[in-house]
Amino acid sequence: MKTLKQLERLRKAHLLINSSNTGNPTEFAAKLKISKRLLHSLLEYLKEIDAPLLYCRKSNSYYYEYAFDLLVNISVQVLVKEELKTVYAGRTILNNNLYSARFVHCTNLH
C-alpha cells in the first residue's frame, strides 16, 4: 500500500504543478498531506526523471518550464499461488510470461 500512496502523491503533485497551484513549499506539502522534507524528496525525484521543474517567487508556485506530461499507471490484480512462477527483482513472472511491475512514464512535450 505504501507504493500506491507514493504513486498517488506523485500524480497529485503533478496536477498541482501543471496548474501552477502549488503555493509555497509549506502550502504544497500541506496540500499533499506530507512533510516539507518528504516534499523535497518528491521534487528531487521529479527532477531526476527530467521534469523541467521551476519555482516562481512572484506567484509562489512550482511550475514546468515547458509542457511535461507524467502518466502514472496503477494496476492491481489478485493472483492465486498457482499463477505465480517466480519472483525476481521486484517483478513477478506469470505462467503466461507476462510481467507484473509498477511503471511511471514521463514525456517531454516540446
40-47: average pLDDT: 94
User: For 66-110, what is each residue's pLDDT tens digit?
Assistant: 988 888 776 777 766 666 555 444 454 454 444 444 444 444 454
The strand pair at 99-100 and 61-64 is best described as unpaired
CATH of domain 2-65: 1.10.10.10
Residue spans of the domains in the chain: they are: 2-65, 72-108
Most confident of 6-10, 51-55, 99-103, 106-110: 51-55
At 70 the pLDDT is 83
Cβ of 10: how many Cβ atoms within 10 Å? Answer: 18
CA angle 102, 107, 110 (to 5 degrees): 175
Give the whole-angstrom CA distance, residue 60 versus residue 108: 24
| Element holding 5 (H helix, E strand) | helix 2-18
